[in-house]
Amino acid sequence: MIPAQNTEAVVLLHGLGRGAWSMDLLAMRLAQAGYQVFNLGYPRRADAIATIVAGIHGSLNDCGALSGDQLHFVTHSFGGLVLRAWLSEYNPLGIGRAVMLAPPNAGSEIVDRLGGWRLFRSLTVPLSAQCGTGPGDLPARLPPPACEFGVIAGSHWINPVGPFCLPSPHDGTVSVRGTCLAGMKDHLVVPRDHTFIMDSKLVAYQVIHFLRHGIFARPTRADS
């Protein structure tokens, strides 16, 4: 793990249907690297992203995260859309860099194929059905983050539905091309699946490298 060098703060935003607990391992690694970490949760079954954004903003104020000199963000999956929505509404001073892990920035073809099915809606949380790839879906309606950001996509899958709906390569939930977003400073593909990408030590290393340098680490001739 990269040794601690700073005392900047990082906010973690988890994926849809998960909880802050899903980011605990990444939170620990960021803290070990010297960051003050705010691992925030939001309601799992909210039916509007505006509700989540309002709650996140309240949590940021309550914990004092917005009072520091520089605040970074690391998101998983739907958490990337939450960040985009929050920044589009508030965009306070002192925002540093952001890393999105497996974000559905262009939506997911799984929602296109299955979102209208009653079974899909019964097995997922309400906002899942808004994450398709169409121009009227939530991902297309949100602007890119108004900060320097990078994206890490996964290329392995454990979700058996993924191969039937997604173009390769994909992580079982989102295609690699679906994670891309205009304005991103860097994009990296790692051999990890959607559900557990944030638990990877490699991913944590890359997150920290981007927060510090604004670019992901690549092997050099000397490394090899």
CATH of the domain at 68: 3.40.50.1820
Place of tokens 């173009």: 167
Q: Where are the alpha helices (DSSP H) in 40-137?
A: 49-63, 79-89, 109-114, 118-123
In a domain, 29, yes or no: yes
Q: How far is CA 32 from the centre of its chain?
A: 21
pLDDT in the model for residue 18: 87
Tokens of 68: 């520091």
Rg, Å, the chain Cα set: 17
Q: Look at residue 153 and give its three-state secondary structure.
A: strand
Is residue 159 in a domain?
Answer: yes
Domain count, the chain: 1
E strand segments, the chain: 9-13, 36-40, 71-76, 95-101, 148-154, 186-190
- Give me the count of residues in the chain: 224
Residue ranges in the chain modelled with pLDDT below 70: 1-7, 115-125, 220-224
Would you state the pLDDT for residue 125?
Answer: 60
Residue 65 domain-assigned? yes
Handedness of CA 213, 217, 219, 223 (dihedral sign): positive
Q: How far apart are CA 180 and CA 107, in angstroms?
A: 10
Domain hosting residue 182, numbered range: 9-213
Asked whether residue 222 is domain-assigned, the answer is no
Does residue 1 form part of some domain? no
Q: Let me know the angle formed at the C-alpha of 19 by 17 and 20, rounded to the nearest 5 degrees.
A: 150
Would residue 220 count as lying in a domain?
no
Report in angstroms the alpha-carbon separations of 21 from 16, 24, 210, 224.
Answer: 13, 5, 23, 36
The whole-number pLDDT of residue 5 equals 47
- Order of strands across the sheet with 36-40? 36-40, 9-13, 71-76, 95-101, 148-154, 186-190
**Distance of alpha carbon 17 from its chain centroid, rounded?**
13
Domain membership flag for residue 3: no
The pLDDT value given to residue 93: 80
Question: Is residue 219, in this structure, part of any structural domain at all?
Answer: no
Q: What sign results for the dihedral spanned by CA atoms 5, 10, 14, 15?
A: negative
Instruction: State the pLDDT at residue 64.
Output: 87
Distance of CA 200 to the CA centre of its chain: 14
